[in-house]
Structure 1
């Protein structure tokens, strides 16, 4: 360790700190690889820039980003590089580089606050597509394109593409060892997901991204911008999410947001095609398609705003205007296999930041609209038909992010957080118009016919003494390889192909590897293998609660070394004969940062798993709501 490391904290520089000839004004954000600051040029007071400072001295990723911006990233709609150096020592210090500071909102925030017309959005995204096309022509891939990585410059409305922290160009050295490069999971292309499924156990296997991966991410982002919803919900369990991304085509945006021109909707669906050869092959093609759609379309449909306005009150009680988001898509364009009998969808976890949505009265227009086949039901249908069952058996159950990236998790209707005038996004309050997560069914009664499954919300108040942990469909013990899909099949399917009547075997869970990069990410937080810290289930007290097998969240009590408070740990519960085992694979910080971790739940006796108490059902158990987690290098 260098001597000055004791005094230098590159992720926590205070205002007035001098880095080379730049004076820190404020910290804009910090991610897994670097911290971004707004700085003032001391030689020209009043000129402000964005300075990105690596968190590690020998950071090949930062060096690659500097080289990319300096040699191949020059474009009017790409953030410019002005200077680079090392600090505090010119040879051995941390690498920093100075870029344009772009005052203005992130792309999704611009859409939600300005509510542009379809033509304005097409013109803006056309410029972004041209920028991607120019980069691809120079063999540069962004590999983490999403709405918060595009800022709309205040002075002229120009879109500026930024954050090439995981970008790559031809001839660049590989700096990661995972199957997939660090990425945002729900923006991956179907071919990347397919490669992960078939190669995640093969040492040395690496997916080679192409231009069509960036263009697919552009399509996912466009879908989110014109509907307010992601085509593939990041709230799904990872195995279900992967299967949906690989096999299910989302509903057309124009089918549930009638203000979206059909031609724009078709362009988005083409960008989301499951086969890369069916997509646009370059950003130039996307731009040309958008120009033609606007030129040949009816003027009135392109000149109306993307969303309707509605009146609302802010937290202070003042009147304000906000956009009204359409109901989320309930029907996929992927048909269910013939002869399949479907039942209700099991409940999904509702994030704590979402506002509950009122339940439509039976037979009402809202109830009928929500009665379509949801993507989750169709994923189940595909699995029964043999389209996905074998695939799920090989899924890694942890996200593919190798290390925490300098970008934050989506929080508004599945959307990314706000980024204003800088590279790293800030957390924002959720939009009051955001849709709630998929609600639980009123009763899990198998359907008698292949009719659309109706999603019904339970609005009964939560009682503290009966508080339950967030749940996701449990993993049936007698159906190896189906993961979260298996339980959903057992609830709704009466197909003879599946036998769901046997009592689950409550053996101890098998050994399992940690998520890629988890141990290194924990060490950055000061947490090493063997460390123990108290946790509890969110919203509970020191009490006995009922938990369900499957996805869960627990909350870290207070601060744990560098882990911020309150941080939630995400993972899954596995119910055994005498204990409930928990394997936590991801930490969600209050900033929205998602960090891979490898931690096991411990009971109050400090042994692996919470102690089961009397009570519970086939897939539920009674446990005490307070326990601990231990950092591990492998789940045993």
Structure 2
């Protein structure tokens, strides 16, 4: 039996199946937003034809009227959802405004990326079409102002992208509806310049941010970042004020740095879309489209044909055989460590008995199982420098042997005196003395995924020349031959020394950087004086201080001692940089009461040196450090 509005109270956000709105019958509710509810409806005059009907939540809603005007006149494009009808319900004059659009049988961009797992080429082509749609809209004076993955639908079966939901859209010449500082929208996708304007002008009468096409393109960059990596550039769970600070001042890791399947060219395009300054982004959709197509055309075909993510196959069980062959993506972890294993490292020789392997309790990794113990014969040497040192010692010994023969001669029956045997014992794990300052319970830093290195065959140290070839003679070697052998050994030793010098490359020291806006004022308010250091410990580290393993990236530390307005136990949020030391720069703080402030604090060692010392066992892409140090307020990161 049809449901008529005059028979009951109207709740536009909760229409049941069978409700008749004009000549349309509700089939199901698709979603509810801040200004309207969307339903899948059937055309009662043409049964079997389905559309999407959006119903305003309030009578006389000017925003709904603007969206109708946009879709009917301004935003007409093949990649924008089409408008078919509009009216008011239940009363034709005073009722709620509704309009009927195409019902797009498809998935939002992020869902499509994870469930279909398309190739990078398909994603780039879809993004290019969206870029051209925005170019046409912007030239017509139309701004979407609320672009996000859910508002880009990928239609089945042709894969065509369609822009939907212009509920807070705007166009040139339109009347002002709200008096807010910035337009309503989703905080995660706001541009840095809009965030900066909001922070500087919030509450100021008459201050209104002038939304630009580059704001739409920034939001498209965030949406593509989400599609390629499975994550937003900044954690959505951050409190709003911390999220503002991150958007305005922090640079997220490039997609290719942790989803290493991503072509570098595509990663570069996305990062340019996320540039902090609008003039550093693509100014128009046409230029963005050209950049995407150039990246696909000139890149390696195999990389672009690869799917966005690796698949994880689910095995069926006897209780639930329906799960057999079901697949889901393997989402890269962010930002703690890369979900894609790094390239194998060159390993020259197996581990020697006296090489201490990292203590299992020293490796910190949130949510990661402890590494499995490997039998000694399968262990790999973790320090190429130590290997080179062993080879260097052998080469020097060979050179010395040759020179001794040259100087004193050597009888064919001479015996080498045996040296006393060295007794090798496994020492206890290295522990350092904790600083005298009192420490609270603490926490893990950015923890790496410790990847077992793959052994490869070692190349010959040097090729013998014709003069070096052994000659079968009963007489002792000539002086000239022995001299050549000795000099060759010394040369090889020198080559090994050079190899050691060009081993794991040390990253450069981070460049100078200004403090985030408002940091110095906030620190003054909190009673934090420049140079007045306090003890910190990496967050969630429990128990006695010890050595942990960290990678470059975002991290959190907890104050063991506090300042007047930032007490012991407060959290500092920032980033670690790996160089000859481990440098930490922290740009916001959170009090024990949950309030957040911009700050400008760097990490010092316990001896008050800038940066933390890299302990033995560190490599170019990770470092082993002590869990505590000093937090030092500064007026600029040097």
Scaled to the shorter chain, the TM-score interval is 0.5 to 0.7
Tell me by how many angstroms 1:391 deviates. 8.0
C-alpha separation in 2, matches of 1:387 and 1:363:
45
Q: Is the 8 A contact 2:272 2:282 kept in 1?
A: yes
For 1:609, the equivalent position in structure 2 comes to none
For 2:367, the equivalent position in structure 1 comes to 357
The answer to whether residue 173 in structure 2 is matched with residue 134 in structure 1 is no
C-alpha separation in 1, matches of 2:288 and 2:19:
44
C-alpha separation in 2, matches of 1:24 and 1:209:
36
Match among 241, 244, 257 for residue 242 of structure 1 = 244
Tell me by how many angstroms 1:54 deviates. 0.5
C-alpha separation in 2, matches of 1:71 and 1:484:
59
Which segments of structure 1 move beyond 4 Å, counting only runs of 4 or more? 3-6, 313-317, 359-367, 381-385, 391-394, 444-456, 471-474, 476-480, 482-486, 489-492
Q: How many pairs does the alignment contain?
A: 410
For 2:330, the equivalent position in structure 1 comes to 324
CA deviations 1:530-556 (Å, max 9, x no partner) are: xxxxxxxxxxxxxxxxxx6328xxxxx
The answer to whether residue 242 in structure 2 is matched with residue 232 in structure 1 is no
CA RMSD of aligned residues (A): 4.2
For 1:442, the equivalent position in structure 2 comes to 541
Q: How does 1:111-150 map to 2 (within 5 A)?
A: 111-150=113-152
SS at match of 2:184: coil
Tell me by how many angstroms 1:307 deviates. 1.1
For 2:519, the equivalent position in structure 1 comes to 390
Q: Is the 8 A contact 2:261 2:303 kept in 1?
A: yes
Q: How does 1:421-432 map to 2 (within 5 A)?
A: none
Cα 1:441–1:68 change in 2 (3 A) is same
Cα 1:108–1:444 change in 2 (3 A) is farther
Tell me by how many angstroms 1:26 deviates. 1.4
Tell me by how many angstroms 1:252 deviates. 1.2
For 1:466, the equivalent position in structure 2 comes to none
CA deviations 1:251-308 (Å, max 9, x no partner) are: 1111111111110010001000000000001111111111111111111111111111
The answer to whether residue 158 in structure 2 is matched with residue 156 in structure 1 is yes
**What TM-score results when the alignment is normalised by the length of structure 1?**
0.57
Larger RCO: 1 or 2 (CA < 8 Å, sep 6+) = 1
C-alpha separation in 1, matches of 2:122 and 2:34:
34
Tell me by how many angstroms 1:329 deviates. 3.0
Q: Which has the higher helix share?
A: 2
Match among 32, 35, 59 for residue 33 of structure 1 = 35
Tell me by how many angstroms 1:455 deviates. 9.1
Q: How does 1:364-513 map to 2 (within 5 A)?
A: 367-369=447-449, 386-390=515-519, 393=522, 441-443=540-542, 487-488=571-572
Tell me by how many angstroms 1:451 deviates. 7.5
For 2:268, the equivalent position in structure 1 comes to 266
Q: Which runs of 5 or more residues in structure 2 are unaligned?
A: 339-365, 375-381, 383-445, 452-509, 524-537, 577-582, 598-638
SS at match of 1:82: strand
Q: How does 1:51-90 map to 2 (within 5 A)?
A: 51-90=53-92
Q: How does 1:191-270 map to 2 (within 5 A)?
A: 191-270=193-272
SS at match of 1:488: strand
For 1:310, the equivalent position in structure 2 comes to 312
Q: Which runs of 5 or more residues in structure 1 are unaligned?
A: 333-355, 372-380, 395-438, 457-470, 499-503, 505-547, 552-570, 573-636
Q: Is the 8 A contact 2:562 2:569 kept in 1?
A: no
Cα 1:226–1:277 change in 2 (3 A) is same
C-alpha separation in 1, matches of 2:122 and 2:541:
43
Cα 1:12–1:291 change in 2 (3 A) is same
SS at match of 2:572: helix
For 1:173, the equivalent position in structure 2 comes to 175
